Structure 1
């Protein structure tokens, strides 16, 4: 018989896992997140989410300077990795709470087949199958400083122009995603 000393619902110290994928984007196992991002990052499952406020403005965040990949770079509202067996919607809501201190609603998958590979200045590779979602928040974020250095509510059109004109200042995935989202004519009505 196993006895747990942790209180019910208490966090465990188990490592966060990411789902590894084959070339057909089928799960083939998992590995601890702490070691997945290297110069030879395997294809793995992720998500991105663009959060709007009730006025239709988009939440952009600047990654903490302590982040392994693209430190200090502006990006989408929140992104992360679903745990093995975790539905995307649950993963998005979990990361929005953890990273931004936000509860999100009206979650919609907008780019179900988005995938990318990018190499940052340090040589670390992102290699993700990364469906893209939009959501709405009714409050300002209260971010975890280990994840987010700054945040700003901006007009959707301004974010699309910023990504197109200054792609060096925005994460490569956000540049691609904002371009594709703008082609869907989401703009200010993205989450309605």
Structure 2
């Protein structure tokens, strides 16, 4: 099934839609979201991307990422994908927006206006989708900062871009 993304301008105003893979090949700015979840001890819940992912396979990143579909709110899309990838329902709130453009290792582009969501998930029970996630781990802020600094090649570029911007907002 073809999946479509919402094309946007630099101010996140909708200007059209395009098939997802085509948008990544043609470097078209589109709407995206990144979900950061914390556990009961305020540890970050990270996912390792499945090895079959079309870009950034095997890298560690935030809990969930994705794109809203045309006529879908970004909040609803973030909740939908969190369930599709992790098998959980969670309350999240938007805390930040960021726009970036990055050429990936396989000739694709990530050119996104990204809505950043944060939430708490304390059950620690997941039903991971193996097509999306290889593994998950919970990491405290100090250990995560050190690991990103010492092993930057183990993390997605967007995680390394967003993480410093949100950690100050979290007050943990």
Name the residue aligned to 2:161.
Answer: 176
Contact 1:22 1:28 (C-alpha < 8 Å) held by counterparts: yes
Distance 2:81 2:32 in 1: 11
Q: Normalised by the size of structure 1, how large is the TM-score?
A: 0.82
Name the residue aligned to 1:123.
Answer: 107
The CA RMSD measured in Å over matched residues stands at 1.6
Distance 2:76 2:16 in 1: 20
Distance 1:48 1:23 in 2: 18
Answer with 1 or 2: which has the greater Rg: 1
Matched, 1:58 2:44: yes
For the residue of structure 1 that corresponds to 2:53, the secondary structure is coil
1:65 is displaced (CA, Å) by 1.1
Question: 1:147-178 CA deviation, whole Å, 9 max, x = no partner?
Answer: 11111011123223322332221101000111
1:92 is displaced (CA, Å) by 1.1
Contact 2:87 2:128 (C-alpha < 8 Å) held by counterparts: yes
Name the residue aligned to 2:124.
Answer: 139
Cα 1:42–1:85 shift into 2, 3 Å? same
For the residue of structure 2 that corresponds to 1:131, the secondary structure is strand
Give the alignment partner of residue 9 of structure 2, picking from 7, 22, 31: 22
Distance 2:137 2:11 in 1: 37
Question: 1:14-48 CA deviation, whole Å, 9 max, x = no partner?
Answer: x322101124331111112243222x320000000
Distance 1:116 1:166 in 2: 22
Contact 2:10 2:113 (C-alpha < 8 Å) held by counterparts: no
Q: How many residues align?
A: 171
Name the residue aligned to 1:81.
Answer: 67
Distance 2:144 2:7 in 1: 31
For the residue of structure 2 that corresponds to 1:104, the secondary structure is coil
Q: Normalised by the size of structure 2, how large is the TM-score?
A: 0.91
Where does structure 1 lack aligned partners over 5 or more consecutive residues? 1-12
Contact 1:60 1:74 (C-alpha < 8 Å) held by counterparts: yes
Distance 1:158 1:49 in 2: 20
Name the residue aligned to 1:10.
Answer: none
Matched, 1:166 2:151: yes
Determine which structure has the larger strand proportion and give its number: 2
Matched, 1:69 2:55: yes
